[in-house]
Amino acid sequence: MCGICGILDLRDENRIDRTILERMNKKLAHRGPDAINYYQDHTIGLGFTRLSIVDPIGGMQPMANEDSSLVLLCNGEIFNYKELQKELILKGYRFKTDCDVEVILHLYEEYGEGLLDKLNGQFSFALYNKRKKELFCARDCAGILPFFYTEVNGLFIFASEIKAILEHPYVGREVDLTGLDQIMSFPGIISPRTMFRNIYSLEGGQYCIIGGGRKSIKQYWDLKYYEKEDRGEKFYQETLEELLHDSIQVRSQVDVPMGYYVSGGLDSSIIVSQGKKLNEQKTIQTFSADFLDHSISEGFYQEKMAKYVKSEHNRILVTNHDVIEHLEQVIYHSECPLKETFNVASFLLSNLVRQRGIKVILTGEGADELFGGYCEYVYDFFRKKQPSESEKVESRIRKQLFGDEDFFYEKKYAHFMDIKKLFYSNVLREKFKSFDSYQHFIIRKERIKELSHFNKRSYIDMKLRLSNHLLSEHGDRMSYANSVEARYPFLDKRVIEFSARIPYRYKLKMYERKSILKEIYENKIPEEIRQRPKFAFIAPGGAEILKQKNEYIQDMLSEERIKRQGFFHPKIVNKIRKSFLEGERVSVPYAEHIMMIILTFSIFTEIFKTKNI
């Protein structure tokens, strides 16, 4: 819906500089090109860039309550606002607009911090209480919309994107080494860390209260599984179908043109087929990214689904040249290094959406994590549980990370530690223990202590893969880069909570991944798509990019530049770079991903002018 930013003077010394606030807000213009607005007094400054979707005339922010004692900035949407409006009107509250986020103001007046239990949406907001001189900030349950912040010299500075925070002269530009090691080791950076030291991300399902002499960060929501419940398969199928239908319906209530991503897989096909039912009299708009390489192309299935719903289909073909040409733009918006190239495809796809005049897109993320879509959910049943005697170090690392020495996630971390240390510079090798991501927070282990492997993996995927990767630098940052709001029906709060009640045997019947969804939507989407095995969204591989004799790519990986930056080992990087360039076999495991991280990290440091080691 927009971009938000602000500065709270915790010392109340009248240090809100309007010029700085305007610079911060300008950095968020891509998130909200339709309008800008500000609120400022001697304690706080708030900036807003608007993408008009609901109540284009009356929904301007910052928004105040009736006596102007509360001032709100909210990025996102409250999907159950109509019901909340009715509830609040019965309690005597009056509404000045039909904008969804106005309910937050009156909910706060009625319930205080408990308002978060009432909301079903995708949002991050900052609510300023003038009387208390206190800021109440929160992020939605799934972590769809971002909220970044830092505290420096008695100022609390926040924004929807880090680049806005960096506009304040008090804020430094130093790499968070643990954040870098997280990208090397896991699907992405893990909140609350970012790639910038002392700049943090509020986690999904968290809120923060700061000002008036206090500061606290609390978890107001988290996934809770009910493994002993079983009300019969039919109940779960019928209820899930009803919840998904309603989730798609409420996300389709917009005052602007909207469309659908069609990947060619099950999840997006479910959403677009139901979306078509809601718009039977209209020709809907669908969008796909495809590739020349037949081994990663899903064009056949994308076209099949588009014909099935009789949509006006829009397709973009992404090439190696496109990846190189747009890599710098993508890293600027991602605000972190990348180990794959598919962010470029997402960026170009949202650009196509915007070119067609669409502001809202519905997409299928979340189903794999909730319903067992990845192959690991099956492999868990056949994997050797106890590591061998020679793997005692691996057992200790798994216990440290996940609270379970038998739980395998992505890779053998003991072996990978030696590999990644090979690429670090001598300086970083010497101080490795101080930033080793295995020794820092990644998940709340107590939440999954007694869970089955299936639900344990689901929880970890939701936290590490979805919230901190697919919804952040891949989702939010790539859609809003082109002023497009992505909405996620599978991540409706009610759907998430209900999915955690479904016995996993209905999600993985006879080792068939996402079997409950496939059974619900039998005869409702093309059979070839319904029965199709999971096909990950893959763009041209890093190896193909590293092989390109492109001056920019080779310069970013040059021995001189890597040595000057000081994070990676220049001779090792140069040796592997030459192997890719000359088409030689690279025997180092994970070399392709690591080299892509080093390449994009090099670009990252140039874009954001971070300090060298």
Specify the amino acid at residue 305. Answer: M
The burial of 371, by beta-carbon neighbours within 10 Å (0-12 exposed, 13-18 middle, 19 or more buried), is given as buried
Q: Identify the band that residue 304 occupies on the pLDDT scale cut at 50, 70 and 90.
A: very high
Q: Are 444 and 464 in contact (CB under 8 A)?
A: no
pLDDT of residue 296: 86
Quick: pLDDT tens for 423-446: 999 999 999 999 999 999 999 999
- Whether residue 535 is predicted with pLDDT greater than 90 in this model: the reply is no
Quick: pLDDT tens for 231-286: 999 999 999 999 999 999 999 988 899 999 999 999 999 999 999 999 888 899 99
Q: 50 CB contacts (<8 Å, ≥6 apart)? A: 1, 2, 32, 34, 35, 36, 37, 59, 60, 61
The whole-number average pLDDT for the span 485-504 is: 98
Highest mean pLDDT among 449-453, 535-539, 540-544: 449-453
Rounded CA-CA distance 480/472 in Å is: 11
Where does 165-308 show beta strands of DSSP type E?
A: 200-201, 206-211, 214-219, 258-261, 285-291
- Whether residue 77 is predicted with pLDDT greater than 70 in this model: the reply is yes
Neighbour tally for 25: CB within 10 Å: 25
With residue 336 as reference, give the H or E element that holds it: none
- Whether residue 311 is predicted with pLDDT greater than 70 in this model: the reply is yes
Q: Identify the band that residue 552 occupies on the pLDDT scale cut at 50, 70 and 90.
A: very high
Q: For all residues of the chain together, what is the average pLDDT?
A: 95
Q: Identify the band that residue 292 occupies on the pLDDT scale cut at 50, 70 and 90.
A: confident
The whole-number average pLDDT for the span 82-107 is: 96
Nearest CA to 44 out of 134, 108, 104 is that of: 134
* DSSP 3-state of 132: coil
Quick: pLDDT tens for 144-177: 999 999 999 999 999 999 999 999 999 999 999 9
pLDDT of residue 53: 85
- Whether residue 386 is predicted with pLDDT greater than 90 in this model: the reply is no
DSSP character at residue 96: S
The whole-number average pLDDT for the span 366-384 is: 93
- Whether residue 387 is predicted with pLDDT greater than 80 in this model: the reply is no
Q: 90 CB contacts (<8 Å, ≥6 apart)? A: none
Q: Are 471 and 144 in contact (CB under 8 A)?
A: yes
pLDDT of residue 241: 98
With residue 393 as reference, give the H or E element that holds it: helix 392-402
Neighbour tally for 226: CB within 10 Å: 12
pLDDT of residue 56: 77
Q: Identify the band that residue 536 occupies on the pLDDT scale cut at 50, 70 and 90.
A: low
Neighbour tally for 448: CB within 10 Å: 23
Higher per-residue confidence, 78 vs 585? 78
pLDDT of residue 265: 95
The reported pTM is 0.96
- Whether residue 475 is predicted with pLDDT greater than 80 in this model: the reply is yes
| pLDDT > 70 fraction of the chain, expressed in percent and rounded | 98
Rounded CA-CA distance 483/488 in Å is: 16
Rounded CA-CA distance 493/253 in Å is: 17
Q: Identify the band that residue 602 occupies on the pLDDT scale cut at 50, 70 and 90.
A: very high
Rounded CA-CA distance 1/61 in Å is: 11
Q: Please report how the helices 591-608 and 413-423 are oriented relative to each other, as an axis angle in degrees rounded to 10.
A: 50
